[in-house]
Structure 1
Amino acid sequence: MAKTDNNSATQLKKATSWTTLHLTLFTLLGALTAIVLTPYALSSPGHPAASYAPGNSTLDTLANPKIKIISFDPFIAHISDFVSKDEREYLLKLGNPLLKKSIIKNDDGSEVISEARTSSTAFLPEEDPVVLSIAQRAADFQGYLSPGDIDVQITSYNPGQQYKHHYDWYTPPRTRNRVSTFFAILKSTCENCGTEFPFINRTERAQFDGRWCDVIDCEKELLTTKNVEGSALFWLNLDGNGEGRIDMLHAGLPAVNGDKIGLNVWTDIDLQEMKRRGLFGGQSRHYFKPTKEFLESHGLMKEG
């Protein structure tokens, strides 16, 4: 009986060994099959991951944002495709006959011709449908402001003409002021004739990404933007208190070996409306600014 049991045990042991070997072989075969077939399975139209495969042309993707922030504080941004080619051609035909020697407004409202501004300019008729479209575009960009607060002016620089360092905001006291500026390029054939901000260093943007050199003159020490037809530069002229920012001094550099024609798009808004709209954080900042001690006492800020 014992001998029979031993034989049965031996046979069972052999059967178990073969079963384990078979399982091991099948497992290895299954793993190899998975490695070979998985890429094909993932790329099949019915698989959810197929639409996320790199380089898949059927994936509905969005283009890169058309807005690139140049500076957070002061806020300066570059907007690609702000004015279409057809709009540029239309505005050039509309504005050229209206151009006159540029003037500057004094604080008392009087107008003078300045040696600092040698370009020619003209405010475009606000009832024109294309001009209204530009104004609406600028208003919507800033949080659905009123296009009635947007002034659109064409400005033309012949060879050698410039606008020396200046501010777009008016000195107080005023109930309205230019909270922001768009400067869009309709046409540019000149060299080294961008917009310079002398209080803002160019920094090392190009070392992080060379694409910056498409819109910024990477050879200059000071921040100087290039003239890219159809694009616009946007910046804020005022701070949260409605006061002009002294770091937003800028200049339209002289047109060299060519000319340039652009659009000044100014948002001239009531300062109380600016605060009510919360353009700089809302009314709560006017009434209460929390201190570090207040935050700590309410468990909103902890050391370490």
Structure 2
Amino acid sequence: MKPNVAWVRSACLLLLLPLMAQAEVYTSIQELTAVFSLERRVVAALTNYLGDMETRLARIRKYLQEYEQVSAEGVATDEGIMERLAGNPVHAFHLMKRLTVDWRHIEDQAKKDYWINVVEAMSGGVGGRGGLSVRLPAEEDLHGAAQALVRLHDVYNLNMTQLVRGNVWGVQSYAELTAQDCLYMGKHSFNMGMYPRAIQWFEEAYTLAGLEGNATVTQDQVNMFLNTAIKAYDESTLTRPELGHSVPTSLQKENETTKVVQYRLGDDLTPQEDAQNFQALCRGEKLLSYRYLASLTCFYDHRDHPYFFLMPVKVERHYLQPELLTFHDVLSDFEINHIKGIAKPMLARAMVQGHQGKGNTVSNTRTSKVGWLDDSFDLIIQKVNKRVEMITGLSTNVAAEDAEMMQVSNYGIGGHYNPHHDYLLVDKTEDELRFNIHPRELVMGDRIATFMFYLSDVTRGGATAFPRLGTAVWPSKGSAAFWHNLKRSGEGDVSTLHGACPVVHGSKWVSNKWIRERGQFLRRGCTLRPED
């Protein structure tokens, strides 16, 4: 018995829905790349399907045209037309041909389900045909992608007109936005409380709607949202006047957006000042004085290790105290490809510590996917960890719990990580340490230092910014940033607040090696000065 095709198709789609619901594609460029590849296969199947449908329709049109030619010989109301047609031997022959050969072809084509090839192309990625498994985007991914665009526009103050016409911070493409797209972005900005940005998106949507002839959305529809956003903006500036100057908008004149902003550095910054400095650093602005910048140097260093006396490390200094360094060319392309290769199957949505230390949770403050690599299973990872130990002088022995496993992260659309501290314990209360922190974490001690490899270059954006120090480290494939999270006294160094700037264009891969206090007792000693 032949199964009902429609029922089979419905069953296939029902099977796909749970997998699609789990999709979270926008948080990883690796996932997005796989989806683009899947779409290419689907488009090829759709092209074949379209060709088959056009062939089928052409055959039906030919049948109808032949019949119309025959019926045109008489008048429809003439009672003798059918008899006259039947009396014509050629007409009779064509009638037999139409209802045997031609009709059989039409019927056979109608029975074939060409759409099943498209379903198979789609399910081949989702179901894992050939050992592959591709997550399909869900509505959550659409919202995430929209929020990423809103975030990029806000942080980098991108030119709205250029952005909607495919110019993303100087990178031109055919990826343009419609009036409906801009309206969608404006709604997201509004829901996020970013009223000035929402007004910009709505104004651009209004302009594009006029240029499009109200094709995707009408100007009247946009105008309703625009008026609501302006009203909300006016009300917010009455209760919080600082919001009226926090973000340059199209409500202000263009020359006002380029006015010089005074930035303050230090450990006593307000959250607003931290955010302001962070965004400025992401845009590439210089917050340190030229005199201080002149004191920063690049040099070769043997790091007090015999291995580097013959082949010293290339060091770039970004800040003096606390010391913030970049070690260049510490990973080869082979090692990078190997690390990324074994990490890709393990990538999962990055988690952050929950409220009051209660477990881990997914958060919008960090959009990336991560995997953890244990050096006990791979000789290359062991070799890289040993290199970190030689460069830093700190123990990276995972088995002895002196350090954590290597974490590999891949950032997605507008991938970012809001400013945070890497230390986990020193800022916790005694009750939080007792009830919310696993005893193993207490044995390992806090994260004394961070060694962060850059596994890729980034076309635009993606810097690691330190808003309280006023400096940033930009991704450079094969290099690594290094800093201490704790002072020698064991106190947390609050000035090491840092975050990952949103990725504007390109793919960002990083690998973190967090070194714990355990095992560093004889490697980094205390001093008599509590401020050290």
TM-score (norm 2): 0.36
Instruction: Determine if contact 1:180/1:236 at 8 Å carries over to the other structure.
Output: yes
What is residue 71 of structure 1 aligned with on the other side? 319
Cα distance change, pair 278–143 in 1 and its aligned pair in 2 (3 A)? closer
Stretches of structure 1 that go unaligned for 5 or more consecutive residues are 1-60, 202-222, 290-304
Instruction: Determine if contact 1:139/1:150 at 8 Å carries over to the other structure.
Output: no
Shift of 1:69: 2.2
What is residue 348 of structure 2 aligned with on the other side? 100
In 1, distance between residues paired with 2:475 and 2:396?
28
Cα distance change, pair 63–244 in 1 and its aligned pair in 2 (3 A)? same
- Higher RCO by CA contacts (8 Å cutoff, separation 6 or greater): 1
In 1, distance between residues paired with 2:524 and 2:338?
33
In 1, distance between residues paired with 2:316 and 2:328?
8
Cα distance change, pair 179–197 in 1 and its aligned pair in 2 (3 A)? same
In 1, distance between residues paired with 2:318 and 2:414?
28
What is residue 253 of structure 1 aligned with on the other side? 501
Shift of 1:242: 1.2
Stretches of structure 2 that go unaligned for 5 or more consecutive residues are 1-308, 427-432, 434-441
In 2, distance between residues paired with 1:228 and 1:146?
23
SS state at 1:67 partner: strand
Q: Which amino acid aligns with 2:524?
A: L
SS state at 1:150 partner: coil
Cα distance change, pair 62–138 in 1 and its aligned pair in 2 (3 A)? closer
Alignment of 1:105-184 (within 5 A): 105-106=353-354, 108=357, 110-127=359-376, 128-143=378-393, 145-148=395-398, 149-151=402-404, 152-172=406-426, 174-175=442-443, 176-184=445-453
Instruction: Determine if contact 1:138/1:147 at 8 Å carries over to the other structure.
Output: no
Normalized per residue, the structure richer in helix is 2
Does 2:241 align with 1:241?
Answer: no
* Cα deviation 1:201-247 (Å, max 9, x = unaligned): 2xxxxxxxxxxxxxxxxxxxxx1211100000111100012121110
SS state at 2:511 partner: strand
Alignment size in residue pairs? 200
* Cα deviation 1:147-166 (Å, max 9, x = unaligned): 22233100001221111111
Shift of 1:278: 5.1
* Cα deviation 1:30-59 (Å, max 9, x = unaligned): xxxxxxxxxxxxxxxxxxxxxxxxxxxxxx
What is residue 464 of structure 2 aligned with on the other side? 195
In 2, distance between residues paired with 1:65 and 1:132?
19
Counterpart of 2:334 (choices 81, 86, 94) is 86
In 2, distance between residues paired with 1:109 and 1:82?
37
Q: Which amino acid aligns with 1:180?
A: A
SS state at 2:502 partner: coil
Cα distance change, pair 164–67 in 1 and its aligned pair in 2 (3 A)? same
SS state at 1:196 partner: strand
Cα distance change, pair 251–89 in 1 and its aligned pair in 2 (3 A)? same
* Cα deviation 1:129-164 (Å, max 9, x = unaligned): 111112111122222524222331000012211111
In 1, distance between residues paired with 2:313 and 2:469?
24
Cα distance change, pair 159–268 in 1 and its aligned pair in 2 (3 A)? same
In 2, distance between residues paired with 1:264 and 1:186?
10
In 2, distance between residues paired with 1:199 and 1:154?
26
What is residue 23 of structure 1 aligned with on the other side? none
Q: Which amino acid aligns with 2:392?
A: Q
Instruction: Determine if contact 2:318/2:473 at 8 Å carries over to the other structure.
Output: no
Cα distance change, pair 146–62 in 1 and its aligned pair in 2 (3 A)? closer
Instruction: Determine if contact 2:388/2:396 at 8 Å carries over to the other structure.
Output: no
Shift of 1:63: 7.4
Shift of 1:97: 1.1
Normalized per residue, the structure richer in strand is 1
* Cα deviation 1:271-293 (Å, max 9, x = unaligned): xx54x31514x5xx35xx6xxxx
SS state at 2:461 partner: coil
Does 2:522 align with 1:277?
Answer: yes
Q: Which amino acid aligns with 2:468?
A: F
Alignment of 1:4-19 (within 5 A): none
What is residue 96 of structure 2 aligned with on the other side? none
Shift of 1:190: 3.4
Instruction: Determine if contact 2:447/2:516 at 8 Å carries over to the other structure.
Output: yes
Q: Which amino acid aligns with 1:121?
A: V
What is residue 134 of structure 2 aligned with on the other side? none
What is residue 14 of structure 1 aligned with on the other side? none
SS state at 2:505 partner: coil
